[in-house]
Each structure stands twice: as structure tokens, then as C-alpha cells.
A and B are shown apart, each in its own frame.
Chain A
Amino acid sequence: MVPAPPDDREPDFLEEDVVETPLEQLTRHWMNERHAPDILPAQEALLAALLDHLRRQSDAVQLLRGDPSTSEEEHIRIMLVQTEIERVKFIVRSYVRTRLFKIERYARFITINADIQTRLTAAERDHASRHVPRSTKNLLHAKLTDQHFYLEILQSLPEKQSHLDDTPMFVPPMVTEPDTSRPVFVHALKQCPTVRLPDGATLDMKKGHVSLMPYAIVEQLVARGEVELI
């Protein structure tokens, strides 16, 4: 006999109704960041709390390791805690690297767009500006690439074409921008407000709804945690 699923829902040990733990939150933000074409708001407090927790767990493991009288069962317990530390570290690392990748890619755009800057941490902003010239504020990645382009090519071009942010006719812009029209797979975590689709129709997403649509449509819903990208 097939066991009857409890109250209409499919048996699933994915318990979405309970409050998310910090690790579950970070996992969701990590997956969102991996799928979203744009840079999402930084999760500084969450990340700091988890890093703190990681440190405490590592310290506890070190302490227990030093004790020579640990039993075999205690040994397994330490091994499990250690394994979890590595799992969490992997997620943290991948999350930070994903953001770093986008920041380097869109460095020039970040320096001229105030909205996207609000979504970065102070350290991330510094890194982005590492690459823009002094003329456009002191931002580092943007600075480095700009200097490189200028020295190699731009300085030899006519004055009218020697800037990266020129908008000559019939030529796509040279500043790389996030493509927010890129489609993403969306999974509704709760009943969502109505969204308007590119073809003019509207869509009400119920909890559990899965859909493919342009990122721009669900940008707000992702930021508010009403949907996740999968």
C-alpha cells in the first residue's frame, strides 16, 4: 500500500514552514546569488553571525581534541562537528566568491550606479573601485582595468571615442551591465503579490509554484525572500 500523504501535501522532509536557521538562510542566498544575473543585497550580519559560529565550533573541537581521554563515541562526535564546519565553510566561500566574480565583472558599472553600491559591503565597494580611474572617484578593480584600456588602446583614439562611457551610434555600450532580462527559475516560498509579465499578462504565484521568467520581474520578490531562485 502507498502511505497516504499527510493533509494533501506530498510527503517531503523539506520543512519549509518552520523558521529558517541562519545556515538555511545563507544557503538560500547562496543559490539566489548563483542564479541571479545582478548582484543581490549583501548579507553582512548573517555572514558575520555564521563566521562567528564557525569560529566557536572550531575552538570547541580544538579543545576536545586536546583531551587524550576521549572515548570512541566522543571521537565520532568530534568528527561530525568537524565535517559540518567544512560543509558550512564551503557554502560561505562559494557565496563570497560568486559575489566577487560579479563585482569584478561589473566593476565599471558599479562605480557609476549608486543603486548597486547600496547592495555591496564596504569591503566589496573598495574592491570594485580598485579597478576605476582617479577621475571617476577612487574606486580599485575598475581603476586597474580602466588604466589598462586607456594605455593600450583608448589614448590612441580620437578624442570623441577615447572614453569607455562614450555612447557612439550603432555600437553597444562598453560598460558591462547585469542583464536583468535573463530568465531564471523561480520557486515561490509563500503566496506572492501579483506580478506583471512581459507579455502584459499577470501572474499570481502560490506557495510552491515553479516558473521560468525574466529576472527583472521577480527582482523585488527575491530581495524580500518571497521567492527563491533554483
Chain B
Amino acid sequence: MALPQSLRTSVTPPELELVASQLLIEIVPLISMEKTAFISGAYGPLRPPNKAKIPLWMAVNLKMKKKCHIVAPEWLNVDYLQDKLTQETTGPSFSSLPFRFTEIAKVILDVASDDVENPDKLRSLLKDLREARQAKSREGLKTLDHSELSLSNLCSMEINEIRPYFVQSMSILTQLVRNPGPDPLRNP
């Protein structure tokens, strides 16, 4: 078939990672490179030790060849995430985080954990954040109706995670309240 069964109703986390990897990130290059035209835009020139902004996928590529250091985004540090976690556990609403923070944090911690401070603490904070937010989105299922559900500040990966339950629950609710007016099956 044109599309495998597993890809028909949702997208996969690796696909979200692919989308997120297009976002720009700062690096400290260890090689120099002329300004180059890519399909997504022109990047460079790279002149060590000046910082440069390039897409995350490119940074990952260079990092794996030990040709750059990745500068962690300003939200990827212990203080900032600790603060968000406090907000998350004390307030009822979702704290606002960059839309694709899960994907970006994962990629950076996977390939460049030596470029961030205290990677283990970051990992555990990200995990706590995820659990605190997950608990809230499960609560949100209670308020679901057939019409609309606002999910402000929910992030890309979190939406993908709750998608199956939420879409199906809402579909069922829609069937239950469907306007019994003109029904082609009953009015031949």
C-alpha cells in the first residue's frame, strides 16, 4: 500500500524529530566553511571560534564528526527547567515551553551531552516535567466533549502522545450527539 498501516492515523516520533531538526541552533564550529546555499536556505560562513546559526540536523552531523560544539538553547538548563517544573506542579495550567522542546532536548542530549551542563540532572528534570504534564492532559480527558477542546501550551510530542485516545473519544462523543435530523439511512 502507499502508506503503511502504522502511519495512517498519526505521525511517528522520528518524523517529528525530523521536522524539529530543521530549526536553527547556535554552534561553535571547529572547522571553517564558506557560506553555502542549501535547499532550506544559506548557512555560514563558519569561522572558528565565532558562533554560527545552522539547522539542528547539520549541527548533529558536524558534532558526530567532532567538528563543532552545540550551544544549548537558553531554555535547556537546570535553572530554567526547575522553574518550569515548579510552575507545573503548583498551578493547574500547562506552563509554556518551546513547541518542539522534547524533540530538540532529546537530540541534543543524545549527541552532545558533553556540551551541556549537568546532562543527568537535565534528563531527570525533563522526565519529571513530562510526567507532571502527562497527568494534567489525562485530567483534560474528563472535560472532553464533542465540540472543541483547547489545549494551550501543549507541545508537539505531547499532542502526538494523547492523539489516539483523544481523537477516538471525541469521535464517539460526536456519534452520540449527532444531529438526528436529516438521516439518509432513515429517510429513504
Contacts and interface: CB of A to CB of B under 8 A. Distances in A.
Interface of A: 1-3, 10-15, 21-24, 27, 31, 34-35, 50, 53-54, 57, 73, 76-77, 79-81, 83-85, 87-88, 90-91, 94, 97-98, 100-101, 104, 167, 169-173, 181-185, 197-199, 201, 203, 208-214, 217, 230
Interface residues of B, number: 64
Interface string B97-119: 11110000000000000000000
Given A104-B2, A183-B167, A211 B148 contact: yes
Contacts of B3: 97-98, 100-101
Contacts of A214: 147, 170, 174
A39 B153 CA distance: 28
A101 B33 CA distance: 42
A223 to B, nearest CB: 20
Interface of B: 1-3, 7-8, 10-11, 15, 18-19, 21-25, 31-34, 36, 38-41, 57-58, 61-62, 65, 67, 73-75, 79-80, 83, 96-100, 144-154, 156, 159, 163, 166-167, 170-171, 174, 177, 184-185, 188
B149 A213 contact: yes
B39 A57 contact: yes
A147 B118 CA distance: 65
Contacts of A11: 73-75, 98
B159 A185 contact: yes
B171 A182 contact: yes
A100 B11 CA distance: 17
A181 B174 contact: yes
Contact of A212 (B32, B83, B148): B148
A115 to B, nearest CB: 18
A9 to B, nearest CB: 9
Contacts of A79: 61
7 contacts: A2-B79, A80-B36, A83-B61, A85-B39, A198-B146, A209-B152, A210-B153
Contacts of B174: 181, 183, 198, 214
A73 B61 contact: no
Contacts of B151: 185, 210-212
Contacts of A167: 184, 188
A183 B170 contact: yes
A17 to B, nearest CB: 14
Contacts of B58: 80, 83-84
Nearest to B98: A12
B55 to A, nearest CB: 8
Contacts of B74: 3, 11
Give the one of A10, A23, A170 with max B CB within 10 A: A10
